[in-house]
Structure formats: structure tokens, C-alpha cells
Amino acid sequence: MTMLLTYKYRLNPEKRQHRALERILEQQRQLYNAALCERIECYRKTGKSISEVDQSRSLTQIRADDPAFALVQRRIQRGTLKRLDRAYKAFFRRAKEGAGASSGFPKFKGREHFDGFAFDAFAQITFKDGGLWFAGMPGKLRINLDRPLPETPHEKTGEMGVWIKNVWFKREGLIWYVGFQVPAPVRENRNGLGKGAIGADWGTSVLAHLSSGEIVPNPRHGEALAQDLARTQRSVSRKAKGSKQRLKARRHLQAVQRKIANRRRNSLDKLSARLVKNFGTIAIEDIAVKGLMDAERPGETLPEFVKTRRNREVLDTAPYLLRQMLTYKAQREGATLIVVPSTNTTQECFWCGGLHFKELTDATHVCTRPGPYFNLKAPRKLNAARVILKRALACVPAPLRGAGRNAPIKNHRGGPVPGGLSGSSPVVRNARTSARRPGNTEAEQSAPGRRGVETPPLPHARGRDPKVRGSPGW
């Protein structure tokens, strides 16, 4: 059993190879814009569009008339036309879904907005001895192979080896990267890895609060480099548009933005890898990031600086990127990822199942329903993580928990409840609730303290010690 993954490596081109890569990139940008213009004009005059196959056939005449095009690998040019075709298909798909003006019609690409090219298939290119050879590239293009590509059996012959399906090249600033799409082996079982279940509640005050009690702090990479980012942005704004100094300042700005993105991706990579390694079933909530941006309650007006800070905090934690990483790593390692609806995960009580309304200023959850769980306390986010896990385990049969590929990734969606309430779960207002003031959002709150708070463990997690390395709850 295999799955397709992309392995990204840094290139070490010589000066002549760097110039060749830039020349190929500029040629593909011009080809993309010309093909887009041809499609627009054809539809404007005839009411019909040109397909990718028709445009690929015209490459023969273009290569015969233009020697510069003939020097570049034909599969690179076909890959550029396929890129435009995918953009058109994505536009029509979004338009049919009712996106309207935000459907995103393909745009003409400027030099700063076209940063890569690809082959339409891994053919007429050679990968050998840590380098690449293809038409249009002088000599061996060296690759910094910091990790080996996975070996898998061939689909037909069964021979073990590295079978590359596709390849792409990308420029980030002045640095070039290459990506190989290869089949990677998938674990058949969880031998040697954790088989327990864990729930994770995403946030901005802390990156994640696990149902085992562990708190994953928010590294706040954007805030750490905020001064460098502001300084480079001011430098760009002071330069004349179209000048070389402005281009140089923009590259400095892009370098800071890449540093923030790389640090964020590195943190999420480590977190997702640790969760998939130590737990066979992982439960998260379905977060609509777009709905969190500039969100206000009915009749509420927040200052712009509060919404700006909250939006920045939400984007800096990148919840959907974490979900994407957990998705493919869980599939590769034979784990099960369950996505539950985020409705009332904070308000619901893990013990009694009732809804206890809380403001964002309330860091502690208290069960106020009369009964055996009355006055039990837990940190707000710990209770939410336990609720997420409870919902996930309720929708997955016990034999399929941690079954990996035999239990596909599930997205458990409950039906909407009018007003966010449930008839079988009465709302009990928390006695410690205070009036909400502008600015008392989770982005402005530090990690909630746990001193003096009773946190009864999960019924199925008794005996776990999250502080002991290697224990089931670690």
C-alpha cells in the first residue's frame, strides 16, 4: 500500500544554471500569458474556448518558428499549459458552487507572481547521482539530498526502487527548490507506535490543549519577527515604484515573510508528527477560519485594532495547515484522524453533557448542573479537548480506532441546533461569567493557569501521566 507524497529539496545551481533557470521561468511566464490571452480572445470572438489539447498541438509550430522555445524541454511547456487549464477548471468549479465574483478568473502573471514551472510527466529528464539532466539546462543540476527518497515496489514488475511520478521547480527569493512526487509506503499496522486516543483543542492563547492535560504553547512566530517585518515594509513603501531599490527592498521583505512561514511550518510539522506517532486515534474540531475573521456577535462592535490583532493571531497559528499535516501523516502512519463539528465544544460539559455558557474571559469550566458531577472544575480548553475526543469516539466503532487505512479519515458533522442550544441539554450559565468587554478575546488572554483547579481524568485515561516520557498520555 502506497500514497503519493512530494519531497522538496534545495538546488545548488552554478551561475550559468541559475541564469538558465531564470530564462526558462521567464519563457514559461510569457507562454502562460499568451495562452491565457488566446483563450480570452477566442471566447470573445467565437463564444467557444480552446482546450489544453488544442494549445499543446500548436507548440510544434511555435517551436519551429522560435529557436529559443525549441531549446527548452517540450514537457515543461506542456506543463505550463496544463497549469493554465487547471486554473480554468478551478474557476468554473468555484463558479458552479456559487462563489460569484470571488470565483477567481485566471490572471495574467507578472514577474513577481510567477515563481515556478513543472514537467507534465517525469519523462525526458534524468535523475542520477544526486543531480538532474534535461534539455535547456547546461550540465548537471546538483540537488542537496538531505534525506533519501522512499523506495517502493513497481506497480507492474514489483521491482524495488524510487519511482518518480512528476517533478517541479520553484524559486523562493533567490533560492531554487525542486519537488519530486513519489509513491511512499503506508504502514500496515501500528506496531511500535502508540495506539491510544487523544483530543486536541486548537487556540491562540495556546496552540493546542490536549485531552491528556498537556498544553502546547503558542510560539507566536509572527509576533517574534514583527519588528523586522514592519521595518522591511516601511523600507518598501519609501522606495519609488519600479525602481531597483524597491525590488531589493521587496526581496528583503519576502525573506522575512519566508522565515516566519518556515518557522511556523516547522513547529506544526513537529507537533503533527508527535501526535501521529504517539496516538492511533486523533480527534480535532472542524474550524472555519474564514468565519473567525472579523467575527462579531449580534449587536456588538469591536474596535478595529482588536479585530486586527485577533485576525493576526488566528492566521499565525494556521489551524488548517495543522489539519492538512495531520491528514497525510495519519494516513501514512496508519492512524485515524476524526474531525468533529466545532459547535459548542467550549460550552458543552464533558461530564454531564449539558451546555454551560461561558464568556471568552472565563478560563475555568465549572459543572453547575445538580448531580454527581456538580462543582467539578477543569481548565476551559481541557474540557473542550475532552468533549472533542468524546464526540469522536462516539462516531467511530472501537475495532476501527487506530486502524489507519482500514478506517478512513472521518468528518463527523452533527445537525445544526437552532440558537446553538439542544432540547436534551439545558443551558446552565456559569456563575463566574462576567460581562464581556471589547478586547477580552482569546487572542488577548495568556495561557489559563491551572493552579487550584481540579482536573478529574478521563474515564478511559486513568493512570496516565502526561509528564512521564513514553507513557500512554505523553
For the stretch 11-54, pLDDT in tens is 999 999 999 999 999 999 999 999 999 999 999 999 998 999 99
Determine contact, residues 183/149, Cβ cutoff 8 Å. no
**Residues for the chain: how many in total?**
474
Determine contact, residues 356/368, Cβ cutoff 8 Å. yes
Determine contact, residues 285/388, Cβ cutoff 8 Å. yes
pLDDT in tens, 207-258: 999 999 999 999 999 999 999 999 999 999 999 998 999 999 999 999 999 9
pLDDT in tens, 250-269: 999 999 999 999 999 999 99
* Number of helices followed by number of strands (H, E) in the chain: 12, 17
Determine contact, residues 130/142, Cβ cutoff 8 Å. yes
Determine contact, residues 2/161, Cβ cutoff 8 Å. no
Compute φ and ψ for 187, nearest 5 degrees: -65, 135
> How far apart (Å, rounded) are the C-alpha atoms in residues 198 and 210?
7
Q: How far is CA 73 from CA 8, 59, 68, 116, in A?
A: 21, 11, 11, 15
| Residue 443 confidence (pLDDT) | 39
Q: Which of 336, 369, 328 is nearest to 350 (CA)?
A: 369
> How far apart (Å, rounded) are the C-alpha atoms in residues 107 and 36?
8
pLDDT in tens, 144-194: 999 999 999 998 888 999 999 999 999 998 999 999 999 999 998 899 999
What is the Cα Rg of the chain in Å?
27
Confidence band of 296 (pLDDT split at 50, 70, 90): confident
Identify the bridge partners of residue 183 per DSSP, sorted by sequence position: 4
Neighbours of 265 (CB within 10 A): 15
Residues 6+ apart with CB under 8 A from 105: 91
Read off the pLDDT of each residue in 79-91 and give the average, rounded to a whole number. 95
| pLDDT(467) > 70 | no
Confidence band of 455 (pLDDT split at 50, 70, 90): very low
> How far apart (Å, rounded) are the C-alpha atoms in residues 328 and 184?
11
| Residue 460 confidence (pLDDT) | 40
| pLDDT(446) > 70 | no
| Residue 395 confidence (pLDDT) | 82
Confidence band of 459 (pLDDT split at 50, 70, 90): very low
| Residue 427 confidence (pLDDT) | 34
